[in-house]
Amino acid sequence: LNHLNQAARMTQHTSAPTSRAPDLHRAITDRLRSLGLRATPQRVLVLAALGDAHGHLRADEIMRWVAERYPTVNLATIYRTLDTLLAAGLVTQTDLGAGAASFELTGETRHHHLVCERCGAVTEMDDALVASLRERLLCDAGFRVSTTHLALFGICRACQEREHGLLGAAQE
Ligand SMILES: [Zn+2]
Ligand SMILES: [Zn+2]
């Protein structure tokens, strides 16, 4: 799916953003067809929304983006479309604690996220750490992990330092 991301990036880097849109749409259409899926406007636009975002979007955010271009769309259609794209492996889903699932284009490399519960910062975590956990679970418990896009919640370094700073100041 890398060419999709590339097409999306090209779209963003050009001075006239809409002029590159046909390239992205063609890349998406080709990708859908190569997987034996019909390139319906809903599917193309949901993938284009995620390509345009370069990150995660909730279903309601996807809906807003798509509705600007295809006004008859509704949230049920967005969810149904996402289900199809998830099943095809084109889209991946995770819970970043926003009260709803977040969706993202499946990238070349698997990644996970660290989500700060104080400031909401979301950082990427390499799959290597989770890969060793996956191997251990398979070896020790015979458990085959199918989670591909994980979010771990906690407190980021900046927030910890800020809290320590406040604590230090209070003790003086
Ligand atoms: Zn992600
Ligand atoms: Zn933080």
Give dist(CA 9, CA 27) in Å, integer.
Answer: 13
User: Of the ligands numbered here, which is closest to the C-alpha atom of 101?
Assistant: 1
Would the CA dihedral through 91, 96, 97, 98 be positive or negative? negative
In the chain, % of residues over pLDDT 70: 85
pTM of structure = 0.73
Cα–ligand 2 centroid distance for 48 (angstroms)? 30
User: Of the ligands numbered here, which is closest to the C-alpha atom of 162?
Assistant: 2
Cβ atoms of 27 and 3 within 8 Å: the answer is yes
Cα–ligand 2 centroid distance for 123 (angstroms)? 10
Average pLDDT estimate for 32-55: 94
Cα–ligand 1 centroid distance for 36 (angstroms)? 26
What residues flank ion ligand 2 with Cβ within 5 A? Answer: 116, 118-119, 121, 156, 159
Q: Structure tokens of 157?
A: 């370094």
Taking the CB of residue 49, how many other CB atoms lie within 10 A of it? Answer: 21
Give dist(CA 117, CA 112) in Å, integer.
Answer: 16
Q: How confident is the model at residue 148 (pLDDT cuts 50, 70, 90)?
A: confident
Task: Report whether pLDDT(153) > 90.
Answer: yes
Cα–ligand 1 centroid distance for 54 (angstroms)? 10
Cα–ligand 1 centroid distance for 159 (angstroms)? 22
Secondary structure (3-state) at 94? strand
* pLDDT, tens only, 78-112: 999 999 999 999 999 998 887 889 999 987 778 89
